[in-house]
Amino acid sequence: MGGEPVQILRVEDGKSIVFNERVLKEVLLAARVKDRPVVVVSIAGAYRQGKSFLLNFLLTYLRNNGRPSWIEDKTTPLSGFNWRPGSTRETTGILLWNEVFLMTNLKGEEVAVLLMDTQGTFDCESTTKESTMIFSLSMMISSVQIYNIINNIKEDDLQHLQFFAEYGRLAQKDNQTQAFQKLLFLVRDWNWGHEHEHGYSGGKSLLAGRLKTTDGQDAELKAVRQNILSCFSDIDCFLMPHPGRKVVADKSFDGRLEDIEEEFREKLRELVLSILAPENLLVKEINGRPLSCHDLLIFFKAHVDVFKGGDLPNPTSMLMASANATNMAAVDKATKRYMSGMTNRPRRNLDQLREFHFGLLAEAVKVFDESPKMGGETMSSPSKDLLTKELEELYRHFYEEEKELIRIEMEAEDKRERERQEEKKREEQRQKERIAEKERSEAREKEIQKEREAFKDKETAFQAQEAASKAKLEKLTEEMALERKQARETEEKITREMRAKDAEIESLRKSIGKKEIFLEVIKFSTVLAHCGTAGLQFAQGFTPAAVAPAGKSLVQPLALLDMMRHFSKK
């Protein structure tokens, strides 16, 4: 028969992963399988518990292509993965059967089936980190993870599983669904068939009781169960009977079925079919997407790189974990004491702060020393060093903070002093400006006073001028009034004269009509003209007898007019 187990991964010195990528490529990138959906069945658990022994029966089924004859041949020795009875480990690292089996599932789809064996956990030669990395990688790579345990599902089995699963899930931080697919608890040498019968029926009832959570349950126990349930998309349990005394006691036992108890063979057949029968083949998936053999190579390599990268926390033993926890609790308590004391630290004085720090540091170390811790001085010493280092770092932070505060305050004080000096200069300048302004104001006031006095003089002169003008105006007014009066009087006189003249003219007009009178007058005038002064006197007195005998001068028109007026009146 072809095929052999090949080591694809091992851990050196308990911490360094050695990944045989070339061998894995030869298996997964073969032309006939690289694009096929892949089924990965892996078995893991404590060392020397018959993992490789059981895995070889799965291999026998695949070699026989699922034919019933695989379980009927009772005389052929069991071959495949290395196995042997004993107390020392046989398998190291992660082994893969290098022959990939093509099987047809219930959908008629041809899938590639891989079998993977793992180094037993918690042997005398493996570190906690080594066991954790191998078990976690096994869960990440497999589509069916068989968890091989002896006699019963114990609390430490669940706690170890939770630890490995959480570590593996941490490495798969980008997985958006449950980190792992199917988990099968395989309980070997189950001796209490009267409580839970062998096979899946009894296994389901046992598992339900072991993973049950209740309201009154301890929080730690409840958390273990809840975490396990959240990590796997499917969890089942199978109870296997004991294979018989010859299997464990006879050094010549080579795996022949005829040397194994009948009940074991029956349940073995049931178990193998539940995993590898066409209807039960479970393809490896990531976030619901089926993986091919080629995809599995990439996936495996990526997660090996995660473990190599050092980004994951270092898994430790239970004692170390407890010791670390108690020491870190002591560190935390001491740090809190230091921080609490620092709330009353001296401010704005670096020398006093330094002395205050030394005092608090001594108190914090005392708190650490007096705190209960596991692991003794060997494990507490690094934690004490870490505490001192962290407190010194905190002190540097406080020191730099205080130094910065002092610097800021000094700068602020310098700034305030500069501002005070500048304000003083500005005040002096303002004082000078006020004095200058006062002087200008006084000078201006004097000018204004002079202007006021000049204005007053001008005002007085103006008032005098105004009074003179007023007097002159009054005089002119009086003169004008007088002139107006005189003008009125003259006007009235002229009016009277005009009226008189108008009357005279009217009278004259009337007298003109009297030709005889007019002619007489003319004649008389002529006589008078010839009579001279005597005639004039006659004319004025209208007494002809008074008129002198003949005169030489002519009579003036006015006199003649008066004479005519006189005659007109007559």
Is the separation of the CB atoms in 41 and 116 below 8 Å?
yes
Q: Are residues 37 and 135 in the same domain?
A: yes
CA–CA dist 117, 240 (Å, integer): 19
Q: Residue 544: which pLDDT band, with cuts at 50, 70 and 90?
A: very low
Quick one: pLDDT at residue 505?
76
Q: Are residues 284 and 143 in the same domain?
A: yes
Q: Are residues 293 and 348 in the same domain?
A: no
The DSSP result for 327-340, as a single string, is HHHHHHHHHHHHHH
302 domain residue, yes or no: yes
pLDDT-above-90 percentage for the chain: 40
Q: Are residues 133 and 155 in the same domain?
A: yes
Taking residues 520-540, report their average pLDDT. Answer: 58
485 domain residue, yes or no: no
Write the secondary structure of 457-510 as one string of H (helix), E (strand) and C (coil).
HHHHHHHHHHHHHHHHHHHHHHHHHHHHHHHHHHHHHHHHHHHHHHHHHHHHHH
User: Which CATH number does the domain housing residue 302 bear?
Assistant: 3.40.50.300
Quick one: pLDDT at residue 85?
57
165 domain residue, yes or no: yes
Quick one: pLDDT at residue 210?
93
Residue where a domain stops, chosen among 256, 283, 315 = 315
Nearest to 138 by CA among 155, 107, 105, 161: 161
What is the total count of domains within the chain? Answer: 3
Taking residues 411-437, report their average pLDDT. Answer: 91
Neighbours of 376 (CB within 10 A): 9
pLDDT-above-70 percentage for the chain: 82
Q: Are residues 61 and 120 in the same domain?
A: yes
Q: Residue 519: which pLDDT band, with cuts at 50, 70 and 90?
A: low
Q: Residue 87: which pLDDT band, with cuts at 50, 70 and 90?
A: very low
Between 567 and 297, the more confident residue is 297
The CB-side HSE value for 99 (13 A sphere, CA atoms) comes to 13
Nearest to 124 by CA among 16, 48, 187, 11: 48
Q: Are residues 64 and 195 in the same domain?
A: yes
Quick one: pLDDT at residue 372?
80
190 domain residue, yes or no: yes
- The DSSP symbol for 202 reads H
Q: Residue 14: which pLDDT band, with cuts at 50, 70 and 90?
A: low
226 domain residue, yes or no: yes
Residue where a domain stops, chosen among 399, 417, 435 = 417
Q: Are residues 337 and 273 in the same domain?
A: no
Q: Are residues 276 and 374 in the same domain?
A: no
Residue 254 reports pLDDT greater than 60: yes
Quick one: pLDDT at residue 548?
43
**Contact residues for 191 (Cβ-Cβ < 8 A; gap 6+):** 151, 242
13 domain residue, yes or no: yes
Q: Are residues 197 and 233 in the same domain?
A: yes
Q: What residues make up the domain containing 129?
A: 5-315
pTM above 0.85, yes or no: no
Q: Residue 166: which pLDDT band, with cuts at 50, 70 and 90?
A: confident
Instruction: Give burial (CB, 10 Å; 0-12/13-18/19+) of 412.
Output: exposed
Q: Residue 100: which pLDDT band, with cuts at 50, 70 and 90?
A: very high
Residue where a domain stops, chosen among 315, 350, 373 = 315
Q: Are residues 44 and 111 in the same domain?
A: yes
Lowest-confidence segment of 111-120, 432-441, 450-459 by average pLDDT: 450-459
Q: Tens digits of per-residue pLDDT, 467-511?
A: 877 888 788 888 877 877 887 788 788 788 778 777 777 777 777
- The DSSP symbol for 123 reads -
- Measured at the CA of 407, the angle between CA 403 and CA 413, to 5 degrees, comes to 145
CA–CA dist 121, 47 (Å, integer): 6
Quick one: pLDDT at residue 549?
47
Quick one: pLDDT at residue 550?
46
Taking residues 294-298, report their average pLDDT. Answer: 91
Question: Alpha carbon of 353 to those of 296, 333, 343, 403: distances in Å?
Answer: 60, 22, 12, 10
Is the separation of the CB atoms in 217 and 180 below 8 Å?
no
Taking residues 419-426, report their average pLDDT. Answer: 92
Q: Residue 108: which pLDDT band, with cuts at 50, 70 and 90?
A: very high
Taking residues 116-128, report their average pLDDT. Answer: 74
Q: Residue 445: which pLDDT band, with cuts at 50, 70 and 90?
A: confident
Q: Are residues 40 and 177 in the same domain?
A: yes
Is the separation of the CB atoms in 51 and 148 below 8 Å?
yes
Q: Are residues 335 and 310 in the same domain?
A: no
State both tokens at 414.
Answer: 């310098």
Quick one: pLDDT at residue 303?
82
145 domain residue, yes or no: yes
291 domain residue, yes or no: yes
- Whether the CA torsion 429, 432, 438, 442 is positive or negative: it is negative
